[in-house]
């Protein structure tokens, strides 16, 4: 296994080590020493709320005709893994991008500038798929989604999370990311075929909380700026690269840092006399566009696949007349000559008032002894039940279709031997918010038949809600300052998930049980019950509530990006927009942005239905 090693001491006596190693090399490690230096950078962003804070290195390497370093050039991006450390503390793990490798055919010696990325920049080009390239199915926790995305970077390092926003009822001792679930079917674009990239999927987790991710000290850190302003000693939950809790399960990180001049005994300190402050306007209005994403199947196990005697998403109530089919799919239901009993009950499907649902059931009559004078044989029985403030039973043969309080078993006659009978039920608009379940009852004889019904398919899907204005595609959540607002309007943010107490949409967020939709949330030490998108908008306007200061200039010493920074003789708290550290000169160039956490009490909040037209809000005041 080949490795290049770069080692030197900076002007302040700090030992710097950078290794470039074959990621999948075999055999004994063969290390070659090279010369050069490293520039560490936190990529510049325009918005302090940017959720994915990528980082990297620029390697300034000395090459010669005797050591041309040409073997650093590879067609693939993840061949050479790079580790950079200061005083034995890992600063960054990353991948070498070999585009800067070249050979000078004239000079004896030349310099190479080679870029290294922490892998987050790859995510825009990588689909959210498993190791076999297949689309994920079912529900996944936010933590699991984060782990899957970060695995696609190829950087194997621990994950630290600190988000103190939780849905109502979740214990404040639990990590919210490990207890909130998404439907992975949401991560398909509107064409219905293209899987979303990992960058977009990761943002659908982080942006919901106004959180951000950064790679530092050889680990991933996920945190919220708004929480740093309230408590700079932050407790993080700790996980390995696979999302398995470490021991100890938490660690505390101190985010406090003060910057000033050398004359005032600060280190790191101002240097080069190039410090300046400019100003940015606050935000007066902001809009979030939540795209529902119509679910194609509310029961994922449409073919009734079973294993170990159980059927996922279904409860077996009675096996007297029910047998799991030997194929591993579907169930066989024997006739009962005397009475029909309940055999199966589906998981609940949450719906809102006026939600429209389709139900499709398919079965075959097999091994049937029939009366040749009768066209139809045997009666297949089922119920579709909506439970809310009252209990409604639906009878599909009522014309016109309606929900009824009468407890009635719906039925369909079996057809020809081994022929498939299909039941298509368009349920009327739900009269109440509640839960829909499907019950499968024992088939009944109609003319002394014997035999079996093979139930092999049940799907439940939304029809979508259409009004006189068109099909509902989502919601606009609009936030505006009422008292002397800034005319600066933040760009509309599109999100794919949100609170929706209904299973008919992919974007619905689920609690720890993976079944119950979330409705309200609260932040640490604040008594409140608000929708998550409302909190998202409030926190955005709070951080940008007034004109902010932007500090730029050089600092002597290394400036840790995991810091909330105060500056001597300047009022305010700052977060880096960019950092560039030259490890040879020990000088960091910074761009810092002021953030706020004063309570903002004049926010006007409105929700409108999205029918497909996205517009930027206008200032009312």
pLDDT per position as a tens digit, 519-530: 999 999 899 999
- Please say if the pLDDT value at position 303 is more than 70: yes
Residue 148 covered by a domain: no
For residues 366 and 176, give the distance between their C-alpha atoms in angstroms, rounded to a whole number: 49
For residues 600 and 346, give the distance between their C-alpha atoms in angstroms, rounded to a whole number: 46
SS3 state of residue 151: helix
Mean pLDDT of the 352-379 span: 70
Among the ranges 189-203, 287-301, 371-385, which has the highest mean pLDDT value? 189-203
What CATH number is attached to the domain comprising 457? 2.60.120.260
Region of poorest pLDDT, from 6-10, 110-114, 393-397, 480-484:
393-397
Instruction: Write out pLDDT tens, residues 492-514.
Output: 999 999 998 777 777 889 999 99
Residue 176 covered by a domain: no
What is the predicted pLDDT for the residue at 417? 60
Residue 558 covered by a domain: no
Residue 15 covered by a domain: yes
**Residue 535 CB coordination number (10 Å):** 21
How many domains does one find in the chain?
2
Single residue among 463, 498, 523 that ends a domain in this structure: 463
Residue 318 covered by a domain: yes
Mean pLDDT of the 280-309 span: 85
Residue 20 covered by a domain: yes
Cα-Cα-Cα-Cα dihedral sign, residues 578, 283, 613, 532 = positive
Computed on alpha carbons and rounded to an integer, the radius of gyration of the chain in Å comes to 30
Q: Domain residues for 393?
A: 306-463
What is the predicted pLDDT for the residue at 122? 94
**Residue 188: CA atoms inside 13 Å, Cβ hemisphere, count?**
18
Residue 273 covered by a domain: no
Single residue among 463, 480, 495 that ends a domain in this structure: 463
pTM for the complete prediction? 0.79
Mean pLDDT of the 200-206 span: 96
> Which residues, in sequence order, are CB contacts of 33 under 8 Å at separation 6+?
4, 5, 6, 7
Single residue among 117, 140, 157 that ends a domain in this structure: 117
Residue 39 covered by a domain: no
């Amino acid at each position: 296994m080949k490795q290049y090693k770069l080692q030197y001491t900076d002007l302040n006596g700090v030992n710097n080590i950078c290794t470039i190693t074959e990621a999948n090399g075999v055999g004994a490690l063969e290390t070659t020493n090279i010369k050069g230096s490293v520039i560490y950078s936190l990529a510049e962003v325009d918005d302090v709320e940017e959720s994915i804070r990528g980082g990297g290195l620029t390697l300034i390497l000395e090459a010669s005709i005797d050591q041309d370093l040409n073997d650093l050039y590879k067609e693939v991006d993840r061949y050479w893994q790079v580790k950079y450390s200061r005083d034995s503390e890992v600063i960054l793990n990353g991948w070498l991008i070999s585009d800067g490798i070249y050979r000078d055919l004239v000079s004896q010696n030349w310099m190479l500038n080679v870029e290294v990325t922490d892998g987050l920049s790859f995510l825009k080009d990588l689909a959210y798929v498993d190791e076999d390239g297949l689309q994920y199915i079912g529900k996944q926790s936010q933590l699991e989604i984060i782990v899957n995305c970060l695995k696609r970077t190829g950087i194997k390092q621990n994950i630290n999370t600190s988000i103190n926003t939780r849905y109502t009822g979740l214990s404040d001792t639990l990590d919210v990311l490990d207890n909130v679930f998404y439907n992975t079917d949401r991560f398909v674009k509107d064409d219905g075929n293209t899987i979303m990239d990992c960058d977009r999927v990761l943002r659908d987790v982080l942006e919901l909380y106004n959180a951000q991710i950064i790679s530092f000290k050889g680990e991933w850190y996920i945190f919220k700026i708004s929480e740093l302003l309230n408590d700079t000693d932050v407790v993080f939950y700790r996980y390995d690269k696979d999302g398995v809790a470490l021991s100890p399960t938490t660690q505390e990180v101190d985010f406090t840092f003060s910057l000033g001049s050398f004359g005032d005994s600060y280190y790191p300190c101002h240097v080069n006399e190039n410090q300046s402050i400019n100003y940015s306007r606050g935000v007066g209005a902001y809009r979030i566009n939540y795209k529902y994403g119509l679910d194609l199947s509310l029961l994922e196990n449409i073919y009734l696949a079973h294993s170990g005697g159980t059927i996922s998403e279904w409860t077996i109530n009675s096996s007297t007349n029910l047998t799991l089919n030997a194929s591993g799919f579907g169930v066989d239901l024997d006739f009962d000559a005397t009475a029909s009993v309940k055999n199966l009950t589906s998981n609940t499907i949450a719906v809102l008032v006026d939600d429209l649902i389709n139900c499709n059931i398919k079965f075959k009559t097999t091994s049937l002894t029939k009366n040749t004078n009768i066209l139809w044989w045997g009666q297949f029985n089922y119920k579709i039940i909506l439970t809310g403030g009252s209990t409604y039973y639906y009878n599909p043969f009522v014309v016109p279709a309606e929900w009824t309080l009468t407890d009635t078993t719906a039925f369909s006659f079996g057809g020809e031997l081994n022929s498939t009978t299909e039941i298509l039920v368009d349920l009327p608009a739900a009269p109440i918010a509640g839960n829909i379940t499907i019950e499968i009852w024992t088939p009944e004889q109609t003319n002394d038949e014997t035999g079996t019904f093979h139930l092999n398919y049940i799907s439940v899907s939304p029809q979508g809600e259409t009004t006189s204005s068109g099909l509902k595609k989502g919601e606009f959540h609009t936030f505006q300052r009422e008292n002397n607002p800034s005319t600066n309007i933040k760009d509309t943010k599109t999100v794919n998930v949100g609170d929706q107490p209904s299973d008919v949409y992919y974007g619905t967020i689920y609690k720890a049980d993976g079944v119950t939709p979330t409705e309200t949330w609260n932040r640490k030490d604040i008594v409140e019950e608000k929708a998550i998108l409302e909190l998202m908008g409030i926190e955005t306007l709070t951080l940008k509530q007034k004109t902010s200061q932007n500090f730029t200039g050089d600092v002597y010493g290394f400036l840790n990006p995991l810091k909330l920074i105060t500056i001597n003789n300047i009022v305010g708290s700052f977060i880096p927009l960019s950092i560039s550290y030259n490890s040879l000169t020990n000088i960091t160039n910074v761009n810092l942005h002021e953030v706020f956490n004063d309570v903002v009490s004049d926010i006007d909040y409105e929700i409108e239905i999205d029918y497909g037209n996205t517009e930027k809000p206008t200032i009312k005041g």
